[in-house]
Amino acid sequence: MYRTDIGVIGLAVMGRSIALNMADHGFKVGGYNRSRQVTERLIEEHPHENLVPFYELKELVASQERPRKFLIMVKAGKPVDLVIDQLSPLLDAGDMILDGGNSFFEDTRRREQQLREKGIYYFGTGISGGEKGARFGPSIMPGGDEAAYAHIAPILETIAAKAKGEPCCAYMGPDGAGHYVKMVHNGIEYADMQLIAEAYLLLKYAGGFSNEELADMFARWNQGKLKSYLIGITADIFREEDDFQDGQLIDYILDSAGQKGTGRWTSLESLKQGVNVSLITAACNARIMSNRIEKRKLAKELIPEPKGISAPEKAVMKELVEQGLYTAKITAYAQGFELLAHASKEYGWNLRYGRIAAIFRAGCIIQAEFLEDITKAFEKNPELDNLMLDSFFLDGIRKGQESLREALCIGIKNGIPLPAMSQAAAYIDAFRGVPAGANLIQAQRDCFGAHTYERIDRDGIFHHDWGQDHE
């Protein structure tokens, strides 16, 4: 009988990659997939002395010493419950199940409680980095029982990406904390990608930059304060030649993008928590609008284009968009981390925001240079209410907000949709804004529904007789 250190259940792209990652690091991995053919293909294409195929769950379970450890890598939702239903009767108290998919955190909380009652530890384990990250070092966000985490930490922290020698993996908190952090990570990712797409639209359709110029520009940005995984791959994308004809591939890709749901979850959870994540919501809505291809074509014929204005010379335009993008990026991360702070209090997770930023520094999609500065901000002030109040990021907002506004004006005047950048400016103004117009809203609510109002000159709750009926 083979002896294994951990079992990976689900050997599609992500499961296969992380199983091979574990095997490369010297762990004996038992691999199991519902379809025998998938397991056989993995072993045929990627033979590895530390990767052992199993075709029966009972045999996989029997291959481990207690406490046993199993990482589920299947599609979120019902498939996870089905695997748990098959696996849990074979386990003993003290054994552990890790869910490495993009499960909704409330599902994770439910499963954790149900399995805890059986003495089985359940970890909602966010994994970011895509196929390459899973294979060679992802960012990992486990949540569950803190004491039990010691049994899985050696594996997870060994296979994780490293930033300055530190593993991009850390215990997040109890029950659904790990999947919640991953959800917000993905929400920030949506905003980040949309902001970069809007910068592209401004530069190409208002500024007149070619793909070659864009590639050079983004490559230069990736050497400075905008340095990040997404900026780096964007520079490469602009250079990529098409497979079928002359020109760059970017110009032949359909202007429509899908989404898997984590961004929407972030937006919905923000409404529940009463936190403004307008950039993430705008990014989700932008993808929705991008899918209305036929309606967009019709509307283009019916709604006239604005007269438009000339963009400034290229050197000025490039600087405006760079500064505006950086300013908006600060705003997106500020919104995401504020949502984490509210959730931490709501669910009693005691999240460590500086550590969260630190594990995002490598391996994941939103890895970026200024995550170092986010880590420093929370190390300096663990109770920081909003990133924009930290001196480093406050200075960035002060220096960059005018560029953001000028870039927006150019885009809006030329009919370029900039929903995320627009929300960044709106958020900054709402955050610092007095007045906000809420006095009028209070008056309206009291007028039509007697909902009362508060005053600026005295304490208490008031109601005014507005003098007439309104229909």
Element (H, E) at 37: helix 36-45
In percent, the amount of the chain with pLDDT more than 90 equals 96
* Residue matched to tokens 């960059």: 400
Mean pLDDT score, 393-415: 97
Distance of CA 419 to the CA centre of its chain: 18
Contact 323, 220 (CB under 8 A): no
Q: How far apart are CA 450 and CA 462, in angstroms?
A: 10
Q: Is residue 286 helix, strand or coil? A: helix
Query: Tell me, what's the pLDDT at 2?
Result: 75
Q: How far apart are CA 430 and CA 423, in angstroms?
A: 10
User: Which residues are marked as active site?
Assistant: 182, 189
Q: How far apart are CA 181 and CA 353, in angstroms?
A: 10
Tally of CB atoms within 10 A around 240: 12
Query: Tell me, what's the pLDDT at 262?
Result: 80
Q: Which domains does the chain carry?
A: 6-175 (3.40.50.720), 182-432 (1.10.1040.10), 437-471 (1.20.5.320)
Q: How does residue 225 score in pLDDT terms, banded at 50, 70 and 90?
A: very high
Tally of CB atoms within 10 A around 304: 8
Mean pLDDT score, 380-391: 95
Query: Tell me, what's the pLDDT at 236?
Result: 98
Q: Is the pLDDT of residue 299 over 70?
A: yes
Q: How far apart are CA 469 and CA 116, in angstroms?
A: 58
Q: What are phi and psi of 159, to 5 degrees?
A: -85, -10
Query: Tell me, what's the pLDDT at 435?
Result: 86
Q: Kindly state the DSSP code that residue 204 receives in the 8-state scheme.
A: I
Q: How does residue 433 score in pLDDT terms, banded at 50, 70 and 90?
A: confident
50-69: per-residue pLDDT in tens? 999 999 999 999 999 999 99
The model's pTM is 0.94
Q: Is the pLDDT of residue 438 over 80?
A: yes
Count CA atoms within 13 Å of residue 237 on its CB side: 14
Mean pLDDT score, 90-111: 97
Mean pLDDT score, 451-464: 96
Q: Is the pLDDT of residue 469 over 70?
A: no
Query: Tell me, what's the pLDDT at 331?
Result: 98
165-175: per-residue pLDDT in tens? 999 999 999 99
Handedness of CA 356, 175, 332, 438 (dihedral sign): negative
What amino acid is encoded at 372 in this protein? E
Q: How does residue 241 score in pLDDT terms, banded at 50, 70 and 90?
A: very high
Give 48's contacts (C-beta < 8 A, 6+ positions apart): 20, 23, 24
Mean pLDDT score, 296-317: 95
- Please, which contacts does 105-112 make with residues 24 or more away whose CB atoms are closer than 8 Å? 105/176, 105/177, 105/179, 105/180, 105/183, 106/176, 107/76, 107/77, 107/80, 108/143, 108/175, 108/176, 108/178, 108/179, 109/175, 109/176, 111/80, 111/81, 111/84, 112/144, 112/174, 112/175, 112/176
Q: How far apart are CA 395 and CA 217, in angstroms?
A: 24
In percent, the amount of the chain with pLDDT more than 70 equals 99
Q: Kindly state the DSSP code that residue 203 receives in the 8-state scheme.
A: I
Q: Is the pLDDT of residue 470 over 60?
A: no
Average pLDDT taken over every residue of the chain: 95
